[in-house]
Amino acid sequence: MYKHGDMDGLGTRTFANGSAYEGAFIDGAMHGEGMMHWANKNQYVGIWKDNMPHGRGVIMQAPSDHAQHFNNGGDNHGQQVWTR
């Protein structure tokens, strides 16, 4: 959905480098629950605020099977979990 020319609500944004975000937008910004698939195969699933990871989330780093949980605005801290 669009509101005043900006994405608003649920949607998908694909970037020129091949990365893609699926989730909530507010006034064109990634904001709320969403998932980012970066071109390098890393993924983040969690909460976004103003286009930045914020709050609870999990980042999965490729090609390893390493997942890292964290709780605040992109600070990579908290429980680390090997998924294999």
Q: Which position has the higher pLDDT, 51 or 71?
A: 51
pLDDT of 3 reads: 76
Tokens describing residue 31: 């904001």
Rounded to whole angstroms, the Cα distance separating 39 from 64 reads 15
**Which of 5-9, 22-26, 63-67, 72-76 shows the lowest per-residue confidence on average (mean pLDDT)?**
72-76
For the chain, the structural domain boundaries read 2-82
Q: Is 61 or 24 the better-scoring residue by pLDDT?
A: 24
Q: 8-60, pLDDT tens digit by residue?
A: 999 999 999 999 999 999 999 999 999 999 999 999 999 999 999 888 888 88
